[in-house]
Amino acid sequence: MSTPSPALARVEAPARARAAVVAAGMCAFFTMYVTQGLLPSLRSVFHAGVAELSLTLTVTTLAVAAAAPLAGSLSDRFGRRPVLLSALAGLSTATLGAASAASLHQLLVWRALQGLFVPGVFTATVAYIGEEWPAHEIPSITALYISGSVAGGFLGRFIAGLVTSRWDWQAAFLVLGVLNCVFTLLVARGLPASRGFRASRSLRASLAGLPLHLRNGQLLGSYAIGFGILFTQVCTFTYVTFHLADAPYDLDLRQLSLLFAVYLVGMVATPMAGRLAWRFGQRRVFGWAVALSAGGMVLTLSSPLALIVLGLTASSAGVFIAQAMATSQVPSFARQAKSSAVGLYVTCYYVGGSVGAFAPSAIWLHAGWPGCVALVLAVQAAIGVIALRVWPAGAGHR
């Protein structure tokens, strides 16, 4: 009896493998920004200023950016599934450890450790998708991962706020840690062993691929696009809160926190985008996504609050679709050491988010919300041009 080829064997992935991809995305982002909604509670507990408390976010994102290239290289050397499961276990442990923190400094240590494990989840999962699914399914499977990350980011904030209001912030980390453990088990049971993985000769060989990635024009363009994607999202939601907290809106903290519910549109938009990418190509869908996001940003210049929220919803949908398209492109552009290529993308992505938080502050002070919108539109135009120049028109039809 003949043995089916690996390509044919991979065509029909079981539903549990897809569910495992979603679960991995949720785990990665359950706790990434969890303290964002807990800062008022942490201020009363630790009697610290806003600048100190904001470090609970900064140390995590900086750790992600710093660890991403190494996480990718480890995945190239030791395999996607082992690195993914190890990272998920470490992330769960660090989250449970954060529940035991007795001081702000201890919490910062655990938050940094969380950030160190996150890139292993992202880089290994994206590289696994690129190797284990047929080319025509990669955009849609990547979109499932992005949907999971969107759901995880929202649910992490929501659950943490709910638990903290009932008990305390430590209980919130405990609950999220337990949930991370549950989803880690789902990934372990649902994700099949790798078939398309080819290990690097050594960790040094994988790290040696980093300079090659930096000489690859398509990857460099994709890294710039990743930087711009998170820059625009963080800039938008950082400064629109100031805009809506001022007159004539005067929204309170609870009302402002509900703005993040617009993220949930990404759970619907990104799977649809994956199917569109197969039909029309990733570059074209990316262009549509940027146009949708830009149109949403223009709408936020309106006066009625309902139109502003609608604009934020459209902008977020465009951002998540663009992220799905960019993420699915990176492994195909890497000639070798695919996971370390994804790791560099993650680094640029989170550096963009860090810059998007503080760099627009001068524009906000001098030009307010319209100035921030103009900056976001300029960055969106730039990444649209980059995609047009470096991404092949037929991407998604391979």
Q: Judge whether 305 lies within some domain.
A: yes
Which of 360, 371, 264, 279 lies closest to 309 in space, CA to CA? 264
Q: Judge whether 398 lies within some domain.
A: no
Contact 103, 244 (CB under 8 A): no
Give the pLDDT confidence of 116-153 residue by residue, as tens digits. Answer: 999 899 888 988 888 878 877 877 788 788 888 888 98
Place of tokens 């453990």: 181
Q: Judge whether 198 lies within some domain.
A: yes
Q: Please name the amino acid found at residue 136.
A: H
Least confident of 13-27, 68-82, 368-382: 68-82
Which of 94, 99, 157 lies closest to 120 in space, CA to CA? 94
Coil, helix or strand at residue 391 = coil
Note if the bond before 139 is cis, omega within 30 degrees.
no
Q: Judge whether 343 lies within some domain.
A: yes
Q: Judge whether 2 lies within some domain.
A: no
Q: Between vectors from CA 398 to CA 210 and to CA 314, what angle results, nearest 5°?
A: 80
Q: Please name the amino acid found at residue 293.
A: S
> How many C-beta atoms surround the C-beta of residue 311 within 10 A?
23
Domain that residue 326 falls in = 13-390
Q: Judge whether 215 lies within some domain.
A: yes
Question: How many independent structural domains does the chain possess?
Answer: 1
pLDDT of residue 387: 92
Coil, helix or strand at residue 12 = coil
Which of 311, 87, 335 lies closest to 209 in space, CA to CA? 335
pLDDT of residue 202: 59
Place of tokens 């060989």: 205
Q: Judge whether 4 lies within some domain.
A: no
Quote the percentage of the chain above a pLDDT of 90.
Answer: 33
304 band by pLDDT with thresholds 50, 70 and 90: very high
CATH number for the domain spanning 34: value is 1.20.1250.20
160 band by pLDDT with thresholds 50, 70 and 90: confident
Contact 83, 67 (CB under 8 A): no
Q: CA 163, 164, 165, 166 torsion: positive or negative?
A: positive
**Residue 145 CA: distances (Å) to CA of 270, 275, 358, 381:** 9, 14, 28, 26
> Mean of the per-residue pLDDT values for the chain?
83
Q: Judge whether 308 lies within some domain.
A: yes
**Residue 15 CA: distances (Å) to CA of 110, 144, 191, 220, 242:** 34, 12, 10, 34, 43
Q: CA 100, 117, 187, 289 torsion: positive or negative?
A: positive
Buried b (16+ CB within 10 A) or exposed e, 123-153: bbbbbbbbbbbeeebbbbbbbbbbbbbbbbb
Top-confidence residue, 12 or 393: 393
Which of 234, 398, 250, 375 lies closest to 316 in space, CA to CA? 234
Give the pLDDT confidence of 243-263 residue by residue, as tens digits. Answer: 887 889 888 756 777 787 888
